[in-house]
Amino acid sequence: MNTVAIIGTGLIGASFGLALKQAGFDGSIIGVSSERALADAVSAGAIDRGASLAEAVSEADLVFLSQTIGRILDTLRHLDPLVRPGALVTDAGSTKTAIVDEARQFLRRCQFLGGHPMAGKEMRGAAAADATLFQDRIWVLTPDEPAELDTAAARNFRHWLERIGARIVILDSEEHDRTVALTSHLAQLASTALASTVADQAGVNSVKVAGSGLTDMTRLALSPYDLWRDILATNTEHIDRALSRYIQKLEHVRENLRTRQLQDEFARAADLAARLRRPI
Amino acid sequence: MNTVAIIGTGLIGASFGLALKQAGFDGSIIGVSSERALADAVSAGAIDRGASLAEAVSEADLVFLSQTIGRILDTLRHLDPLVRPGALVTDAGSTKTAIVDEARQFLRRCQFLGGHPMAGKEMRGAAAADATLFQDRIWVLTPDEPAELDTAAARNFRHWLERIGARIVILDSEEHDRTVALTSHLAQLASTALASTVADQAGVNSVKVAGSGLTDMTRLALSPYDLWRDILATNTEHIDRALSRYIQKLEHVRENLRTRQLQDEFARAADLAARLRRPI
């Protein structure tokens, strides 16, 4: 692997560039982004230079799509005539089925392997980039077939993921999307809906007497809609099902406020919460 | 105020004793609790000595009920013949209407003023007691009539609350219970239900790929049922209504996963979340 093209040099893209360099990658890292984002990424030391999409991907052995989901889908539609034959194209999109389907349809001259690094932080942009962002964090890969992991390009990519400290988990894209609907997307919507419900009723007193529990439960609600629009649009069915299960559970809780049934729910919930807190 | 009786020397009761001493109270602090809890409270320096309920409240100017709600209700039924006439009885129960009603029915020889310090921590018991637990935290008082705040005993109590750094908020008990149903009890049940929903579906992968969002959203789910049973039993109607509003909101979110309606909900939620994070 001599040349990496990072398409979208925000927090994730720039952190990937920094992480590669810190792990000893001494090839060339080319960024494709807005002029301002490229300047930030260069000054963060995350990329060597900026270029157009056509120029960057004509040279790259690895093309890393770290844009929003909507833009990844758009890039995939234009990429095939531009890439170097035999290159590996991968991505960092938070939902996988729509992206993997699109890649299957449009990419012919190169290999695609879907990915989702489970890492992030509150701040956005290359200025917040961090070479250790992926250290000890899960990086999901979603091959259609296990053999896709064993091409020379994929082995090389996996080798670098290990070098930057990521923990690779293999899921098919459908299972990925079903799982994150429950563990990530439902959690977001539960937080947003809770904050919005409190806002509907809130007088000054509600805010005054709110304790740290509500503060915890509304941290995710600070996330802006523009980060979520594409996720909700590309994982609607799984999210719909997860919300439906959550609503059923809340109805069950509501019907059992005074019965011992609730003790079972508390025990079940505390057990899961404790499991989430054990090291991976 | 010469003598304070603290009934229930767990985290809240023992912290109140410590806070009074640190604020310069040099009268006598008598605890009423199990033998073991009294030993812990004495060795934490939170009380001077333990005594029976009858002995402690026959001497006290201030009786502070910092037991579970169920035990506070039980104590109120037996207290009246035992208290010193003119004493102020107050409490730290997390719901107020049931307690205030019971006090109105059973207490004749002393004044009752309901209270709810909005403070706590993960650990329980006098060993975790902290003289600064109430510093800059809201302490709700729930008089039936404003005049109840202006008796000599109530003024004296409020003076000591200020000395220990608490910020007094006056609410009627009904408004208190309606407000905390939304800001505290709903948040707890949203967390428990979320963790239980994930537990129902969770394979190994769900736990592996869960991010920090789900960890945040399930911290409250670690709370044991025995802390919540009395709260749920004494605030059922308000909690039922809050759950119903939350379920309606989640249905609205579910119906609008692909529409711009959701943008409004995100904005509304982010605004409330930001308000919760501003200093009181």
Decide which of B147, B171, B195 is a domain's last residue. B171
- B8 and B141 in a single domain? The answer is yes
Model pLDDT for residues A118-169, shown as the tens digit of each residue: 988 777 899 999 999 999 999 999 999 999 999 999 999 999 999 999 999 9
Instruction: Spell out where chain A has E strands.
Output: 3-7, 28-32, 49-50, 62-65, 88-91, 111-117, 138-142, 167-170
Of A179, A202, A262, Cβ closest to residue B209: A179
- B193 and B251 in a single domain? The answer is yes
CATH number of the domain residue A45 falls in? 3.40.50.720
Model pLDDT for residues A18-76, shown as the tens digit of each residue: 999 999 999 999 999 999 999 999 999 999 999 999 999 999 999 999 999 999 999 99
- A191 and A142 in a single domain? The answer is no
Band of pLDDT at residue B22, cut at 50, 70 and 90: very high
- B100 and B220 in a single domain? The answer is no
Task: Quickly list H helices, A23-110.
Answer: 35-43, 53-59, 69-79, 97-106
Decide which of A104, A139, A171 is a domain's last residue. A171
Long-range CB contact pairs, A153-160, < 8 A, 24+? A153/A61, A153/A62, A153/A86, A153/A87, A153/A88, A153/A111, A154/A88, A154/A111, A154/A113, A156/A1, A156/A61, A156/A62, A156/A88, A157/A1, A157/A62, A157/A88, A157/A90, A157/A113, A160/A1, A160/A20, A160/A23, A160/A25
Model pLDDT for residues B168-211, shown as the tens digit of each residue: 999 999 999 999 999 999 999 999 999 999 999 877 677 888 88
pLDDT score at B228: 95
> Within its chain, how far is the Cα of A160 from the centroid?
18
- B57 and B14 in a single domain? The answer is yes
Nearest CA among B101, B50, B113, B97 for reference residue B77: B101
How far is A109 from chain B, CA to nearest CA, in Å? 31
**Any CB–CB contact under 8 A between B261 and chain A?**
no
**Any CB–CB contact under 8 A between A214 and chain B?**
yes
Nearest CA among B197, B207, B181 for reference residue B250: B197
Into how many domains does chain A fold?
2
Q: How far apart are CA B257 and CA A256, in angstroms?
A: 29
Question: What is the residue whose two structure tokens read 């988990």?
Answer: A169
- B32 and B63 in a single domain? The answer is yes
Q: How far apart are CA A225 and CA A279, in angstroms?
A: 31
pLDDT higher than threshold 70 for residue A98: yes
- A11 and A112 in a single domain? The answer is yes
pLDDT higher than threshold 80 for residue B279: no
pLDDT higher than threshold 80 for residue B153: yes
The tokens of B116 are what? 């709810």
Model pLDDT for residues B23-44, shown as the tens digit of each residue: 999 999 999 999 999 999 999 9
Q: What is the mean pLDDT of residues B252-279?
A: 94
Q: Could you list the residue range(s) of the whole structural domain that residue B269 is in?
A: 175-276
Beta bridge partner(s), residue A114: A142
Q: What is the mean pLDDT of residues A4-31?
A: 97
pLDDT score at B256: 97
Nearest CA among A58, A48, A46, A116 for reference residue A87: A58
From A191-205, B1-15, B226-240, the region with the lowest mean pLDDT: A191-205
- B159 and B201 in a single domain? The answer is no
Q: What is the mean pLDDT of residues A245-271?
A: 96
pLDDT score at B280: 63
How far is A269 from chain B, CA to nearest CA, in Å? 4
**Any CB–CB contact under 8 A between A121 and chain B?**
no
pLDDT higher than threshold 90 for residue A202: no
- Looking at this protein, which amino acid is placed at residue B195? A
How far is A60 from chain B, CA to nearest CA, in Å? 30
- A135 and A23 in a single domain? The answer is yes
pLDDT higher than threshold 90 for residue A278: no
Decide which of A171, A202, A232 is a domain's last residue. A171
Residues of B in contact with A175 (CB under 8 A): 205
Beta bridge partner(s), residue B141: B115, B170
- A62 and A201 in a single domain? The answer is no
pLDDT score at A230: 96
Q: How far apart are CA A267 and CA A271, in angstroms?
A: 6
Report the alpha-carbon angle B130-A274-B198, nearest 5.
130
Is residue B190 within 8 A of residue A249, CB to CB? The reply is no
Is residue B161 within 8 A of residue B133, CB to CB? The reply is no
Cβ contacts below 8 Å, chain A against chain B, sum to 289
- B184 and B154 in a single domain? The answer is no
pLDDT score at B129: 95
Is residue B266 within 8 A of residue A225, CB to CB? The reply is yes
Contact residues, A window 55-94, toward B, CB-based 8 Å cutoff = none
- A137 and A80 in a single domain? The answer is yes
In chain A, the percentage of residues whose pLDDT exceeds 70 is 99
The tokens of A276 are what? 């989430």
Higher pLDDT, A278 or B70: B70
CATH number of the domain residue A187 falls in? 1.10.3660.10
**Any CB–CB contact under 8 A between B146 and chain A?**
no
Total-model pTM: 0.92
Q: What is the mean pLDDT of residues B62-74?
A: 97
